[in-house]
Structure 1
Amino acid sequence: MSARARSLLVALGALAVLAVAALGLVLGARPLGPDEPVVRATEPPLTSTPAPTTPTPDPTEEPGPLADLHVVLDPGHNGGNAAAPAEINALVGDGRGGSKACNTVGSSTTSGYPEHAFTFDVAQRAREILVADGATVTLTREDDTGVGPCVDERGQAAQTAGADVLVSIHADGAADPAVRGYFAIVSEPPLNDAQAEPSRALAADLLAALGAAGFAPSSSYPGALSERADLGTLNWAERPAVLLELAEMRNPGEAALIESEEGRRRYAEAVAAGIREWAAGS
């Protein structure tokens, strides 16, 4: 045999030895017994990231019962009026061809709690209630530190805002402490259709709501309704409009309600209830 052939045989033998050694590493150092299972290598299980789920959208909220109603609430007077006599005494049109003062300071309880603070508090609370029912609510003033607005601007506020109704919130200041009770004022004679039956219907619903809330009707006005031709806030209105005197500020019992947070909450709830009832019937 040639030297080259012998070299090839040696190389093949070495490869065979290496192959046997590698097989031994795979099968282990000892042969398997007759009863031992053959363990086959398996691939690790595949892991997968779940496909993202599309969140279910929240169901659309049902619109509130007053969703189609736009209310203007007019909190009477303003906290800065007393310090601006020239501005509030300036004459503006009264809506009937005459003129009157832009605004007034308003009344107060005997302890000094002012009408402007009371009306602003009640208006804010009533707005919150009405908005919760879906209504749009505009206030004629957004703070209690300013001056005005004048009565002509207040009266035109509903049509300016494209609103459906105007409720001007006040408290009366009769000097006699025995006088008590709420009452509503409407424009008489009416200057347009809105000031006629629609305004009287609004007044009736507001008065009924105040009575249902446990407040006393006026001891001065039969039926708790007053008719006047001299109030610019009502004369300028082209939407149903009522000026609502919620209480007598000089009456001790009603002054206590006016000055209490609970009392103001009750007044606001009654105002909102009256507007809600009017909207349901209009």
Structure 2
Amino acid sequence: MSNGSTFPPHRRLRGTLVIALVALVVAGAAGWLVWRPLSGAGGEPSGAAPPGAAASGGAGGNSKESKEPKDPDSKGPKDHQAPPGGDSHKGNPHGSLKGKTVVIDPGHNPRNRDHAREIARLVNIGNERKECDTTGTATNDGYAEAAFTLDVARRTRALLQDQGAKVVFTQDGDRPYGPCVDERATIGNKAHADAAVSIHADGSGTGNRGFHVILPARVRAGAADTSPIVPPSRELGERLAGRFVAVTGSAPSNYVGGGTGLDVRSDLGGLNLSTVPKVFIECGNMRDAKDAAHLTDAQWRQKAARGITEGIADFLTR
């Protein structure tokens, strides 16, 4: 045979095919060994999610976020990344607050302006003495904070009652003035409230925008001892802030709280003298035109009431 081969042509061809097949198998195995360490448990290579999937959302991905989902009720700025105008919280169905008592404190009083001497008298708030009450602020067009707080409070009451809660008001436009800040705290204490929220709107400078929730500082002075209520009040405030931004679409304050939407104060009698979990919410700045446009809009006020309700409900059903 030619080329000195001792094998017939058909045997040489078969040998060549066997060698080629072995080489192909070895190459394929090597390729699989190189690819396998780069893939997740679900078989998709890291950084190459399947069509339509988020880069970090696949069940087999290596992203830390995909393994540790964020809790929408957890602390800090994550609460404030919720989409604006979100749906009503599904975790708080009708009747879920049965047996719970909530105190709603509409800030100020529409008739305080007619009782300047009475609301100017000083009352003891534990660590100092302050005015009984104030008139509150207003928008540049004259919409009073006291009218705003009553409207949102009444809307909030209706939503809370729909979920079965007992709601107690500190005032419902039925008093000549006040009540004083110390009495507002006493009303919540006597009701043995499971949660208390004082509703306000701020009167800061133009350009200062957004809401913030005021939490009690640790105060032990005179009749004030907030130590037992500081932790639950913070949780109430965090949940309230998280739901408020989700429902209203409002951003946390750009001038108080460092972007968290939370502020801690020791100079408010309504907090210092409370023995039940309590916070204040400043729903926006009435002196800023953009915030005022929301605060004067009835549909937005309904959203504000819903955000407050959902925050309270989240706290009470935790």
Instruction: Choose which of 235, 243, 256 in structure 2 pairs with 1:201.
Output: 235
Residue 250 of structure 2 corresponds to residue 215 of structure 1: yes
| Partner residue in 2 for 1:32 | none
Match of 2:124 in 1: 93
Match of 2:216 in 1: 187
The one of 110, 117, 120 equivalent to 1:79 is 110
Q: Indicate if the aligned counterparts of 2:94 and 2:162 stay in contact, CA closer than 8 A.
A: no
Range 133-142 or range 155-164, more displaced: 155-164
Contact 1:158 1:164 in 2 (8 A): no
In structure 2, what is the Cα distance between the partners aligned to 1:158 and 1:73? 9
Contact 2:216/2:226 (<8 A) preserved? no
Equivalent residue, structure 1, for 2:70: none
Q: What amino acid does structure 1 have at the position aligned with 2:132?
A: C
Q: CA deviation at 1:215?
A: 1.2
Q: What does residue 40 of structure 2 align with?
A: none
Q: Per-residue CA shift, 1:1-24, capped at 9, x if unaligned?
A: xxxxxxxxxxxxxxxxxxxxxxxx
Between the aligned partners of 2:305 and 2:174, the Cα distance in structure 1 is: 17
Q: What SS does the corresponding residue of 1:156 show, helix, strand or coil? A: helix
Q: CA deviation at 1:145?
A: 6.3
* 2:99 alignment partner in structure 1: 68
Aligned-partner Cα distance in 2 for 1:137–1:125 = 12
Deviations 1:228-259 (A, max 9, x none): 11100100100001011111111112101111
Tell me which of 181, 193, 196 is aligned to 1:151: 181
Alpha-carbon distance in 2 for matches of 1:152, 1:122:
22
In structure 2, relative to structure 1, the CA distance for the partners of 1:202 and 1:248 (3 Å cut) is same
Q: In the alignment, residue 269 of structure 1 is paired with which amino acid?
A: R
Unpaired runs of 5+ in structure 1?
Answer: 1-61
Out of 283, 305, 309, the residue aligned to residue 268 of structure 1 is: 305
220-229 or 138-147, which moves further after superposition? 138-147
1:106 deviates by: 0.2
Q: Tell me, in whole angstroms, the C-alpha distance in 1 between the residues paired with 2:254 and 2:192.
A: 36
Shift of 1:144: 6.3
Which residue is equivalent to 1:48?
none
How do residues 237-252 of structure 1 correspond to structure 2 at under 5 angstroms? 237-252=274-289
2:118 maps to amino acid: E
The TM-score with structure 2 as length reference comes to 0.66
Equivalent position of 1:26 in the other structure: none
Identity of aligned residues (%): 39
2:317 counterpart SS class: helix
Give the greater-gyration-radius structure (CA).
1
1:54-104 CA-partner distances (Å, limit 9, x unpaired): xxxxxxxx98100021000000000111110110001111132x2110000
Q: Write the distance in 1 (CA, Å) between the matches of 2:94 and 2:297.
A: 33
Whole-Å separation in 2 of the counterparts to 1:247 and 1:253: 10
In the other structure, the counterpart of 1:115 is: 145
Tell me, what secondary structure is at the counterpart of 2:235?
helix
TM-score (norm 1): 0.75
Q: Give the C-alpha shift of residue 196 in structure 1.
A: 1.2
Q: Residues of 2 paired with 1:107 and 1:194: CA distance?
A: 32
Query: Within the alignment, does 1:161 sit opposite 2:194 as a pair?
Result: no
User: What's the CA shift string for 1:196-239, capped at 9, x where partnerless?
Assistant: 11000000001001111111110012111111111001001000
Q: Which runs of 5+ in 2 are unaligned?
A: 1-92, 220-224
Instruction: Tell me which amino acid in the other structure corresponds to 2:110.
Output: G
1:31-42 equivalences under 5 Å are none
- 1:95 touches 1:152 (CA, 8 Å); kept in 2? no
Cα distance between partner residues in 2 of 1:82 and 1:124: 21
Deviations 1:15-36 (A, max 9, x none): xxxxxxxxxxxxxxxxxxxxxx
> Contact (CA 8 Å) 1:165, 1:240: kept in 2 or not?
yes
Q: CA deviation at 1:280?
A: 1.2
1-structure distance, mates of 2:182, 2:218: 18
- Segment of structure 1 superposing worse, 228-237 or 183-192: 183-192
Number of equivalences: 218
Partner Cα distance (1:155, 1:253) in 2: 32
In 2, Cα distance between the equivalents of 1:242 and 1:72?
Answer: 11
CA distance in 1, matches of 2:271, 2:212: 15
SS for the counterpart of 2:108 is: coil
